[in-house]
Structure 1
């Protein structure tokens, strides 16, 4: 639930120098930040996420500062760490987020305690489920504060263990949230088993994913929205490599008809998507195919789970995050994406843009 912020919060936003070592930091910052904190800040190139310092004046320099980043095309700000007067830094970041029209502030739990976060109006995030990858997943704890709306119910978070199993993971996360799958049963075996049933090698296209969900959970209501009858996600292929995958996509449509999975040959609108995930008393989820060009800088298709909405933004679970740019699970969990951004990034293809979505209704 949003917490009021005092109107008279004085702060300044200072550019961050990516890759700069501790000795390159301003004296005002080195005076209030521990060397190991600054070392972690400079250990990765955070430039793709517009890193900045939100500072609070005091004592002839800075009384507090916070390193703040965020994915492009989203509606949140992330506090990597707050140093100096931590409560003052948190108030400053929240005020900054509100002035920027952001709906959420999250806080990585590298150095902040649960008590400090709670005192600043932040709620603890559920720890992520154990994943099937050895890549570092970030801090053990994280915190969230909504600045718009009441927030949304928090699902479990799980990171995909491969570069191609995002569709399977989003479907499993939807079923965990619906109570169909136990959280402890979501592991790499479950992930790869569902991916094997849904894959078009290696990607999961919308019809095949919808069919795999119905096969795995026959009692789940599943609908597919895809505004083309042509094969999708094959623009990077030609010749036989394209044709045999197209054969499998046609077979998926036959399976959908046999299993009673509706395949709507039209585009799911953002208004319909919001209506689905906001339906009172229902547990409806939309698996949405997006391009990562805006959020990550590379134009590859990727599945995310849309499970809630706040004013101006849809809240998604992204089962992948970019550790090379300083991301952790805190960036990908309860991620608010403005309606216009989501509308743009969910149109894929070349000259003819299409949208693929799978609607799962848990009742």
Structure 2
């Protein structure tokens, strides 16, 4: 369903800096909210204040602190203060003017009734938290135009290195191949142990491990290079034995009938796969979104105009990033294309999971 329309709210948007608050915030922000706003350095997520000026133009009657991961198509309300409905409506209008896909609202102070009245739906609360992560007990989402039906559960990876296993398991739960109670740390580590190239999961090894765990799964690996991948940061000696394991994975893929498609998987190909209700496990770099140029697996499970909707099992608490950012995250096609073009060699790695074979 499309989001409801509302009357536009007059607003002003200014950059937020924790050490230089606008005078108009005085008296609007409760102490506990002020402490949360100042607790972390949010500068990496371009924080802004979306404020509603008073009728006299001399002050603000409402304001919201909003942030977002770079390279994405949403805004996140950390808290709304003052006239909360007016602040939230101002943020939605601001997102619409920017052509964004959605607005999220962290549940630190948001009341479920207020969220519902503003057209927001509750997000799935995490089955587990990412390692070292912190976040609100609830979260809400409002799609500006089209939304995503039947979202997957959110599961935060319990280690720094099990993102590939988590995305595969979440995809299988979302597809009904596994029951939700099967998604736990034992399953996460078991699948990672079978897929790992120590410590990362490369595409062929991940696809093979999924097929071994679920023989009925329709698995296709997409990898447009025949050289070993994700090894260039290692010494020559460490590269050698991991490259051998990757060649072994290719041999095992052939034995199990897991196709390895050497053609470049385009963004339109990803959108088409998701449109067929397939799940795409996509390898990308977190450099744009989180500032870490490290390979990372995310789950592509939905599409909206101009963006692919992913779930990321990792959140970076140090910048104010939480599971609310990582769950149902719309990424514009052009941004996702850049993020998933991997170095060296500008290759793309992915695993698509289709409907199980009967």
Please tell me the TM-score bracket, short chain as reference.
over 0.9
Moved over 6 A (4+): none
Alignment correspondent of 1:289? 283
CA RMSD for the aligned pairs? 1.3
Query: Within 5 Å, which residues of 2 pair with 1:48-197?
Result: 48-58=44-54, 60-131=58-129, 133=131, 135-197=132-194
Contact 2:133 2:316 in 1 (8 A): no
Deviation at 1:48, TM superposition (A): 0.3
Moved more, 54-63 or 253-262: 54-63
Q: Say which SS state the counterpart of residue 135 (structure 2) adopts.
A: coil
Structure 2: unaligned runs, 5 residues or longer: none
1:210 to 207, 212, 221: 207
**Cα deviations across residues 156-197 of structure 1 (Å, max 9, x unaligned)?**
000001111100000000001011112122111111111000
For these two proteins, the number of residue pairs brought into alignment is 354
Deviation at 1:151, TM superposition (A): 2.9
- Provide the rounded CA distance (Å) in 2 between the counterparts of 1:16 and 1:220: 48
Q: Say which SS state the counterpart of residue 143 (structure 1) adopts.
A: strand
Question: What TM-score results when the alignment is normalised by the length of structure 2?
Answer: 0.96
Deviation at 1:26, TM superposition (A): 2.8
Alignment correspondent of 2:225? 228
Q: Say which SS state the counterpart of residue 207 (structure 1) adopts.
A: helix
Contact 2:50 2:90 in 1 (8 A): yes
**Cα deviations across residues 126-152 of structure 1 (Å, max 9, x unaligned)?**
11103474x343111100000122333
Deviation at 1:9, TM superposition (A): 2.0
Q: Say which SS state the counterpart of residue 206 (structure 2) adopts.
A: helix
Contact 1:132 1:160 in 2 (8 A): yes
Deviation at 1:7, TM superposition (A): 5.0
- Provide the rounded CA distance (Å) in 2 between the counterparts of 1:110 and 1:229: 48
- Provide the rounded CA distance (Å) in 2 between the counterparts of 1:255 and 1:331: 37
Q: Say which SS state the counterpart of residue 324 (structure 1) adopts.
A: helix
